Amino acid sequence: MPIYIAICLGGLGTYVSDLLLREFSESSDLQILQVDDEVNDETQGHAGCGKIEVETTVDPKLLWSKSRFVMTWLVKLAVVENVKDVEDIHAALTAVGATAITAAVTVLRSHAAIDWSSKEFTSEIQRPMASPLHRSNESSPILYRASCIRSGSSHKFTSLDVSRTVGDCVGKIFPPSSWKASMKDYEVRIMSYVLNEKCWCGISLSNVDQQRNKGNLDSEFRHPHTPPDSTAVVGVRPSTASLLISLCEITFGEIVCDPTCGSGTLLIEGKYEWGDKVQFLGGDIDVDLNQMRMSDNNEVQDCGLSLWDCGRLPVRDRVVDVFVCDPPFGVGCGSAKDAVTLLPKLLRECRRCAVEDGRMVMLLAHRVKELRRVTAPGAVGKWNTGWKIVNERRINLGGMLAYIIELVVTVKIENDGDE
């Protein structure tokens, strides 16, 4: 049975493994072998993402299309504990040997052979996951590249040392006539994620072209319609958006709103998951709506999109069941000062539009203290936004500590004072 490594949002490893089990519960042949996921106060860099070892015979087609909440999949080569030196990684890979590496490439090939343009895949957002192998002919050597994402301060080696070691190791296992290193035109990428003393190593199933264009971790497919003219939009990863949607625990017939939708990633993932069973609406103060509506993306076309200020939503009182958003937090998107004043404004307006038992899932990397202040039980006047926090999850968002915060409506806004 192939063993995969699912790379996911750091801090949500256990949640993602539960989702995998839930999603594939009918196939008894999916087992979670281990979950490695810790998020500390200190920033952990990109290698601090969650890793889940999964053993399964689930059809790769299904595995991909039903696990959009996974950032990327690797076919496992080795998981090395207590790494003190690159030699430890070298020894572990040597022990894996030629047969297991060749078997992993066979899994990659069967994945690459999927025809993602077939009618079976109704949504455009699935298709670019295809991972073409650029081989001129079967007898030519497999071109490979080794890459490493490393975090941890006590290492005696660099990421480059790890990549070089892995590359050399493969070069020793296979003769140059069958495997050849190539930095540019590779068809197989061997990824190593080193976090402190543990190394996860596998063959990436991400689209090779995207790996080339976007660098190491950034190989996830991005929705293609992101408005090029908007300077404010910093889109979330589709896998993060898919997780946020899942945390909303949406049910049939609900109305879901993203008040700061940017390029609409959350709406797209929601629509992809729920289709016509749920109404999605969203808006932003700074996007080119015409361009978004003209995109080929079915999901974005089917959402109610508006140009709006989230502090003055053109929405009636008490209609929205769930808000989901990643508001600007003043770093990389908007200014810090604006972000502070925006939060209470956004919350109060969402409270007005929310149903009595309305809820919200918010991704926040900064301004968490402010959010706690304006949702504290004793908050009054302008500090009372009518929401309370019911859950906070610490996550590693592209190397930095962030939070996914779940809120629910409190019964009423006391002292409905002006801002």
- Applying CB under 6 A, the residues found at the interface with ligand SAM are 232-236, 260-263, 265-266, 284-286, 309-311, 326-328, 333-334, 342
C-alpha distances out from residue 357 to 360, 374, 386, 407, 412, Å: 10, 19, 11, 10, 11
Q: Is the Cβ of residue 145 or residue 225 nearer to ligand SAM in the bound state?
A: 225
Element spanning 36, H or E: strand 30-36
Nearest distance, CB of residue 354 and ligand SAM, angstroms? 17
Q: Is the Cβ of residue 151 or residue 295 nearer to ligand SAM in the bound state?
A: 295
* 51: nearest Cα among 34, 75, 31: 34
* 35: nearest Cα among 64, 1, 12: 12
Q: Which residue is nearest to ligand SAM (CB)?
A: 262
Q: Is the Cβ of residue 195 or residue 233 nearer to ligand SAM in the bound state?
A: 233
DSSP-derived secondary structure for 206-240: S-HHHHHHH-SGGGSPPPTT--TT-SS--PPPHHH
Q: What is the largest CA-CA distance in the chain?
A: 77
DSSP 187: S
Nearest distance, CB of residue 73 and ligand SAM, angstroms? 22
- What residue type is assigned to position 94 of the chain? T
Nearest distance, CB of residue 281 and ligand SAM, angstroms? 13
C-alpha distances out from residue 346 to 86, 260, 334, 413, Å: 50, 9, 15, 14
Nearest distance, CB of residue 284 and ligand SAM, angstroms? 4
Q: Is the Cβ of residue 60 or residue 283 nearer to ligand SAM in the bound state?
A: 283
Nearest distance, CB of residue 207 and ligand SAM, angstroms? 20
Rounded Cα distance, 352 and 161, in Å:
56
Nearest distance, CB of residue 197 and ligand SAM, angstroms? 34
Place of tokens 């009054």: 380
Nearest distance, CB of residue 346 and ligand SAM, angstroms? 7
Q: Is the Cβ of residue 167 or residue 262 nearer to ligand SAM in the bound state?
A: 262
Identify any residues that bridge with 401 across adjacent strands, giving them in sequence order: 396
Rounded Cα distance, 370 and 50, in Å:
28
- What residue type is assigned to position 122 of the chain? T
Q: What token pair was written down for 261?
A: 């939708």
Rounded Cα distance, 252 and 399, in Å:
35
Q: Is the Cβ of residue 187 or residue 269 nearer to ligand SAM in the bound state?
A: 269
**Dihedral sign for Cα atoms in the order 20, 272, 244, 76:** positive
Cα angle, residue 408 at apex, residues 25 and 67 outer, rounded to 5°? 25
Nearest distance, CB of residue 155 and ligand SAM, angstroms? 33
Nearest distance, CB of residue 316 and ligand SAM, angstroms? 18
Q: Is the Cβ of residue 303 or residue 310 nearer to ligand SAM in the bound state?
A: 310
Q: Is the Cβ of residue 32 or residue 342 nearer to ligand SAM in the bound state?
A: 342
Q: Is the Cβ of residue 340 or residue 376 nearer to ligand SAM in the bound state?
A: 340
Rounded Cα distance, 335 and 255, in Å:
30
User: What phi, psi does 161 have (nearest 5°)?
Assistant: -60, -40
Q: Confirm if 131 and 208 have CB atoms less than 8 A apart.
A: yes
Q: Is the Cβ of residue 365 or residue 408 nearer to ligand SAM in the bound state?
A: 365
